[in-house]
């Protein structure tokens, strides 16, 4: 599903911030991307999301070398992924329901075709009673769950989550982790970027460890 071979990234003429990154993500798999703050976890996620282009090396997504693909092919690959951003990126003037259903509207689907699906998903993440609220009145944990629901509504083959438990208490962090585990069991490959050791100890999974620009695969 994802394959990096000898990938390096530098900004301008500066030194490489990621060096010789080689790893793969298999379908229906679960892994943590971890390492100290500033190690490059978000940068590596951006390479997987195709919002950054590597300086060198091969990035293969869903069987295609995306380093040589045109914009339309990159857009097609992105549509097969869901992403949970660290800063949520919810639209404050839209309700929770409208934020979560936005990807379906962008696709041009009629509301009648997805309304029940959105409501069911919001109940699954524990936001059934908040679907008509706007983001400014939500807690950090509720915003996080709304962002997760928005990423899941497209039924992604690959989910990328950047510090999804960074703004919630330990109890809610465990609940969110269970949501990701259930998602994997339903067939989605999951990559969670986190530096929370307690979270990773809750569910034993493969770890992609970034340090000093290099990646070590543990497990």
Give 146-174 as a DSSP string.
Answer: HHHHHHHTT--SEEEEESTTTTS-HHHHH
Q: Is 206 exposed, middle or buried (0-12, 13-18, 19+ CB in 10 A)?
A: middle
- Hey, which residues does 208 pair with through a beta bridge? 33, 217
- Hey, which residues does 16 pair with through a beta bridge? 10
Q: pLDDT at position 65, please? A: 87
* pTM for the predicted model, two decimal places: 0.90
In the block, residue with structure tokens 């989910």: 159
**Distance, CA of 219 to CA of 124 (rounded, Å):** 30
Tens of pLDDT, residue by residue, the chain (219 residues): 999 999 999 998 889 999 999 999 999 999 999 999 889 999 999 999 988 999 999 999 998 888 876 677 778 888 899 999 888 999 999 999 999 999 999 888 999 999 999 999 999 888 999 999 999 999 988 998 999 999 999 889 999 999 988 777 888 888 889 889 999 999 999 999 998 888 899 998 999 999 999 999 987
Q: pLDDT at position 90, please? A: 96
Question: Which residues in 13-42 are b (16+ Cβ under 10 Å) and which e?
Answer: eeeebbbebebebeeebbbbbbbeeebbbb
Q: pLDDT at position 136, please? A: 97
Cβ atoms of residues 126 and 145 within 8 Å:
yes
Spans of all domains in the chain: 90-154
């Amino acid at each position: 599903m994802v394959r990096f071979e000898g990938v390096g990234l530098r900004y301008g003429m500066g030194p490489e911030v990621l060096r010789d990154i080689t790893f793969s993500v298999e379908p229906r798999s679960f892994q943590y991307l971890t390492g100290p703050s500033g190690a490059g976890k978000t940068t590596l996620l951006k390479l997987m999301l195709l919002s950054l282009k590597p300086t060198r090396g091969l990035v293969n997504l869903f069987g295609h070398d995306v380093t040589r693909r045109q914009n339309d092919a990159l857009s097609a690959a992105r549509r097969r992924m869901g992403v949970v951003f660290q800063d949520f990126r919810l639209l404050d003037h839209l309700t929770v329901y409208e934020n979560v259903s936005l990807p379906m509207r962008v696709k041009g689907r009629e509301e009648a075709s997805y309304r029940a699906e959105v409501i069911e998903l919001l109940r699954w993440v524990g936001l059934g009673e908040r679907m008509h609220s706007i983001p400014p009145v939500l807690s950090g944990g509720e915003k996080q769950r709304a962002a997760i629901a928005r990423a899941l509504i497209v039924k992604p083959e690959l989910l990328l989550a950047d510090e999804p438990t960074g703004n919630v208490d330990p109890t809610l962090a465990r609940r969110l982790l269970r949501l990701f585990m259930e998602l994997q069991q339903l067939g989605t490959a999951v990559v969670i970027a986190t530096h929370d050791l307690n979270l990773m100890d809750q569910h034993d999974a493969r770890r992609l460890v970034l340090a000093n620009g290099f990646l070590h695969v543990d497990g």
